[in-house]
């Protein structure tokens, strides 16, 4: 275990969930990172250990927050809808919102805050345009449940689902620049498909976007 | 190292364990008075390491004192944070050097209304200047100077202790590596002030109070102080905890007596709390310390913005609140977190699920303990403190 910010109880070399691995790859060593919806702190712990980042987290569940703080991570109990507004602009190099956007009440406001607080924002979400979801609804006429979207309609926290093309359209509307994007299968392994295409919107189960912060938008 | 102002250290008293620091240089108080020659009674636990980097200052609450661990010299009961502090515990005395000082205005050996005014040789009484939380902290800095500690590893405390933690972090950020304010607020609300006023009025309505000069007449306003404690004690518990503990159960009787005896167990319990309290606490001290809490408003000190109090801070914060605490509810603790977020401070925040009310910070709460232990461990690694 390293002495500088090493973490207890998070086994060294533990494997990250596939999509988190890709998120981690986008983050530069030594940067300041805010992970919104950080769960039990898997990504933050990995980044602190492997990339010496200065990490902060926000998590809704008490058990998640407690696990993080117990492991020496700086995490507050809060949620993306209510607790992003306090942060000053450009406070972080990266703000990560992993698999959480669809569960927020005001995704548009949340994205605006992400690109305000961070010089860059990393957003991943399940693609509701995936063929299995479309087929499910068409053939069975029932609300789709997939390995990525596991909840029944009456208990799902996912109240604002979107497709990859929806997300790209929203970014364009908000004037938010997309620096990189990756489409993923259900295991978080990348597809070689450009997210802007209709095929990706049909084939990919998840997508991951690296957005430019509001202060670092390229001039129009 | 700052050279401490002329100060000498003595044993507190033959019947009181601990130390007493007598500071000769006057302390400039918020009220404008220069308090000359004052004393700070304190206790320490564990050992200060060679680098002087392992000190934790524990700030006690309104009616607490410096006896964090071990039998209390007056009551014989265990220390008020016995559950949390000691060898191998969360505040591990084998790893950390724990310091706790009786607050200025207190009645366990630090300068306060019960002590003799050096100028007159008589008890201060209401002649003691009104003190603030910031004054308490200023006095503590003299003790920390005296102990030769530049930077405290951590400052922690609950309730009014939490206010002192916030004051330390705001006034002396470079001397606080980590801060853990627990079940507290950055200002006293109208409701907080209201409850304190009830307590003060109860004391002052007691004829034995003698306009604050009871010590000179050999009297003590015990009834008034007990009522103050009873009212305050209700605010330390949740409605749910009170109901679980007592319900409408009758006290040693099978039917109502149609009188004003303590028919109900809860009445008996509160009366007992009141009686036990007056044995160990001074009524005038209660007036002064409640006043200090009421005056506390950290944002007001910083142009109305709480965030300004922490701008540029490098201290690592861990704020902790309890779900059923209605005296210093989660919302008040969260306001502190929001202010810290606004300056992008390093802050953790945990709300602990419990039905034990405000008093939960004094009780064995496994989630609370695990959180604090994890936070301190993380900070200790960053501070380069060896594991025990």
pLDDT of residue A1: 33
| Residues ≥6 apart with Cβ < 8 Å to B102 | B40, B41, B42, B60, B65, B66, B108, B109, B110
Residue of B312, B368, B381 to mutate when probing chain A, most A C-beta within 10 A: B381
- Tell me, yes or no, if A6 comes closer than 8 A to chain B by beta carbon: yes
Task: For B347, name the nearest residue in chain A, comparing CA atoms only.
Answer: A74
Strands A118-126 and A92-98: parallel
* A91–B337 CB contact, under 8 Å: no
For residue A57, count CB atoms less than 10 angstroms from its CB and return exposed for 0-12, middle for 13-18, buried for 19 or more: buried
Closest CA of chain A from B92, distance in Å: 16
DSSP-assigned states of every residue in B311-350: TT---EEEEEEETT--SS-HHHHHHHHHHHHHTT-EEEEE
Q: Is B381 close to A6, i.e. CB distance below 8 A?
A: yes
Residue B4 backbone zone (phi > 0: left; psi -120 to 50: alpha; other: beta): beta
Our CA-based measurement puts residue A4 at a distance from the nearest CA of chain B, in whole angstroms, of 6
Inspect the interface and report whether the beta carbons of B348 and A62 lie closer than 8 Å.
no
Q: Which phi and psi angles does A10 have, rounded to 5°?
A: -105, 105
At A13 the pLDDT is: 46
Q: Where are the domains of chain B?
A: 7-188+301-383, 192-290
Give contacts of A77 with chain B, Cβ < 8 Å: 349-351
Which of B174, B180, B105 lies closest to B136, judged by CA? B105
- The token pair that represents B43 in the structure block: 């206790």
Query: Which pLDDT does position A214 carry in this prediction?
Result: 78
Kindly state whether B78 is in contact with chain A, defined as any CB-CB distance less than 8 angstroms: no
Comparing B5 with A192, the larger pLDDT belongs to A192
Q: What confidence category does residue A63 fall into, taking pLDDT thresholds of 50, 70 and 90? A: confident
Average confidence (pLDDT) per 10 residues, chain B, 388 residues: 56 78 96 96 97 98 96 94 97 97 97 94 96 98 98 98 98 98 98 98 98 96 98 96 95 94 95 95 98 98 96 97 97 96 94 96 95 94 86
Nearest to A76 among B349, B353, B379 (CB): B349
Catalytic residues of B: 159, 325, 358
Instruction: Give the Å distances, CA to CA, from B121 to A22, A163, B128, B327, B368.
Output: 74, 81, 13, 39, 46
What does the pLDDT read at residue A2?
Answer: 36
Rounded to a whole number, what is the distance in angstroms from the first to the last CA of chain A? 47
Name chain B contacts of A65, Cβ cutoff 8 Å.
348-350
Contacts of A68 in chain B (CB under 8 A): 348
Helical H runs in A5-142?
18-26, 42-51, 62-70, 80-83, 107-117, 131-140
CB contact under 8 A, A69 and B374: yes
pLDDT attached to residue A185: 86
Residue A4 predicted with pLDDT over 70: no
B373 interaction partners in chain A (CB closer than 8 Å): 70
Q: What is the pLDDT of residue A194?
A: 82
Q: Tell whether A72 lies on the interface with B, counting CB pairs under 8 A.
A: yes
Please report residues of B whose CB lies closer than 8 A to that of A90: none
Chain B residues inside the 8 Å CB shell of A78: 337, 349
Q: Residues A195, A200, A202, A206: what is their CA dihedral angle, to the nearest 10 degrees? A: -60
Fold of A18-128+161-213: Rossmann fold (3.40.50)
Residues of B in contact with A8 (CB under 8 A): 374, 377-378
Q: Does pLDDT of A168 surpass 70? A: yes
For chain B, say whether A119 makes contact (Cβ under 8 Å).
no
pLDDT (average), residues A56-72: 90
Cβ–Cβ of A71/B341 closer than 8 Å?
no
Interface subset of A 32-71, CB within 8 angstroms of B: 54, 56, 62, 65-66, 68-71
Residue A92's pLDDT is 96
Give residue B313's Cα distance to chain centre.
23
Domain locations in chain A as residue ranges: 18-128+161-213
Test B371 with A92 for CB contact under 8 angstroms.
Answer: no
A7 and B338 within 8 Å at the Cβ level: the answer is no
CATH architecture for residues B192-290: Orthogonal Bundle (1.10)
pLDDT at A220 exceeding the cut of 80: no
* Both tokens assigned to B333: 């603790």
Domain B7-188+301-383 belongs to what topology? Rossmann fold (3.40.50)
Closest A-chain CA to B370: A70
Q: What single DSSP character describes residue A1?
A: -
Token pair for B117: 């005014």
Query: Of the spans A10-24, A192-206, B46-60, which averages the highest pLDDT?
Result: B46-60
- B374/A74 touch (CB, cutoff 8 Å), yes or no: no
Contact B41, B20 (CB under 8 A): yes
pLDDT digits 0-9 by tens, A125-155: 999 999 999 999 999 999 988 888 899 999 9
């Amino acid at each position: 275990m390293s002495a500088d910010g090493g973490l207890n109880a998070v086994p060294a070399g533990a494997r990250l969930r596939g999509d988190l691995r890709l998120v981690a790859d986008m983050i530069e060593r030594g940067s300041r990172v805010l992970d919104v919806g950080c769960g039990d702190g898997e990504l933050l712990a990995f980044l602190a250990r492997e990339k010496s980042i200065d990490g902060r987290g926000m998590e809704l569940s008490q058990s998640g927050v407690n696990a993080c703080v117990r492991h020496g991570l700086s995490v507050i109990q809060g949620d993306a809808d209510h607790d992003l507004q306090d942060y000053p602009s450009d406070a972080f190099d990266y703000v990560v919102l992993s698999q959480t956007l669809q569960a927020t009440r005001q995704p548009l406001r949340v994205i605006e805050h992400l690109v305000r607080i961070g010089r860059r924002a990393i957003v991943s979400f399940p693609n509701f345009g995936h063929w299995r979801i479309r087929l499910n609804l068409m053939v069975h006429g029932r609300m789709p449940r997939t390995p990525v979207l596991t909840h029944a309609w009456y208990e799902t926290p996912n109240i604002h689902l979107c497709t990859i093309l929806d997300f790209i359209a929203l970014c364009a509307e908000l004037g938010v620049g997309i620096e990189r994007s990756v489409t993923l299968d259900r295991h978080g392994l990348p597809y070689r498909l450009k997210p802007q295409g209709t095929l990706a919107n049909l084939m990919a189960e998840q997508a991951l976007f690296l957005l430019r912060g509001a202060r670092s938008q390229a001039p129009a | 190292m700052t050279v401490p102002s002329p100060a000498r250290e003595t044993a507190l008293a033959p019947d009181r364990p601990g130390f007493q620091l007598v500071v000769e240089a006057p302390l400039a108080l918020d009220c404008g008075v220069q308090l000359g020659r004052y004393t700070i009674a304190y206790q320490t636990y564990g050992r200060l390491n060679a680098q002087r980097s392992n000190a934790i200052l524990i700030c006690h609450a309104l009616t607490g004192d410096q006896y964090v661990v071990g039998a209390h010299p007056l009551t014989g009961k265990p220390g008020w944070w016995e559950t949390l502090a000691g060898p191998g515990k969360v505040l591990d005395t084998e790893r950390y050097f724990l310091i706790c000082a009786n607050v200025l205005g207190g009645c366990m050996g630090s300068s306060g209304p019960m002590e003799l005014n050096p100028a007159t040789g008589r008890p201060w009484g209401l002649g003691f200047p009104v003190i603030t939380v910031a004054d308490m902290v200023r006095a503590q800095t003299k003790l920390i100077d005296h102990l030769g500690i530049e930077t405290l590893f951590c400052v922690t405390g609950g309730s009014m202790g939490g206010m002192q933690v916030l004051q330390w972090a705001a006034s002396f950020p470079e001397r606080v590596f980590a801060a853990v304010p627990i079940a507290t607020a950055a200002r006293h609300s109208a409701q907080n002030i209201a409850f304190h006023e009830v307590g003060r009025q109860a004391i002052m309505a007691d004829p034995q109070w003698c306009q604050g000069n009871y010590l000179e007449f050999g009297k003590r306003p015990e009834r008034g102080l007990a009522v103050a404690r009873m009212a305050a004690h209700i605010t330390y518990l949740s409605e749910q905890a009170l109901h679980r503990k007592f319900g409408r159960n009758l006290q040693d009787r099978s039917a109502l007596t149609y009188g004003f005896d303590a028919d109900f167990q809860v009445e008996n319990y509160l009366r007992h709390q009141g009686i036990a309290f007056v044995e160990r606490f001074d009524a005038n001290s209660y007036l002064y310390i409640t006043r200090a809490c009421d005056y506390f408003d950290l944002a007001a000190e910083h142009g109305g913005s709480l965030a300004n109090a922490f701008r540029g801070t490098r201290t690592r914060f861990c704020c902790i609140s309890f779900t059923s605490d209605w005296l210093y509810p989660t919302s008040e603790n969260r306001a502190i977190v929001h202010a810290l977020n606004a300056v992008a401070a390093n802050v953790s925040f945990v709300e602990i699920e419990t039905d034990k009310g405000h008093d939960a910070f004094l009780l064995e709460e496994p989630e609370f303990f695990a959180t604090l232990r994890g936070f301190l461990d993380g900070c200790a690694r960053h501070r380069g403190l060896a594991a025990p």
